[in-house]
Amino acid sequence: MSGGLVENMNILSGYLDNVLNTLVTFENKKFEDNIARINLNIDKFERMRKQLIENNDREELRRASQGMEEKVKQIVQLYDNIIEKNKNEQKKVKEEIKQLLNKKKLNNYL
């Protein structure tokens, strides 16, 4: 495995680390900033990945990329957790609004 390939794989791994770190510290208050940071790293990752696929042997790439699969799984899990958390918060807000509307209707009757 060439030194250049190892260096490039380290860079790819760094992009995945940046995505993971952003997801771990994800705040809905900074949603747009977080998503922009994630998308930037994913775009960089994809561009470099495509270049590596075009210029290197697939078997060599497979060997060099071992360990990245776990990071990708973690990213998927963190995304799923954020989505689930936001769905739960939406349900909670929806229920609160429903209760407020019911109280308003009740007050109108009285």
What pLDDT score was predicted for residue 1? 56
Q: What is the pLDDT of residues 1-33, one digit of tens each?
A: 566 888 999 999 999 999 999 999 887 788 889
What pLDDT score was predicted for residue 107? 85
Rounded (5°) CA angle 70-60-9: 50
Contacts of 64 (CB under 8 A, 6+ apart): 1, 5, 6, 9
What pLDDT score was predicted for residue 29? 80
Given a cut of 60, is residue 57 above it in pLDDT?
A: yes
Q: What is the pTM of this model?
A: 0.78
Given a cut of 80, is residue 74 above it in pLDDT?
A: yes
Q: What is the pLDDT of residues 77-99, one digit of tens each?
A: 999 999 999 999 999 999 999 99
Place 110 in a pLDDT band, splitting at 50, 70 and 90: confident
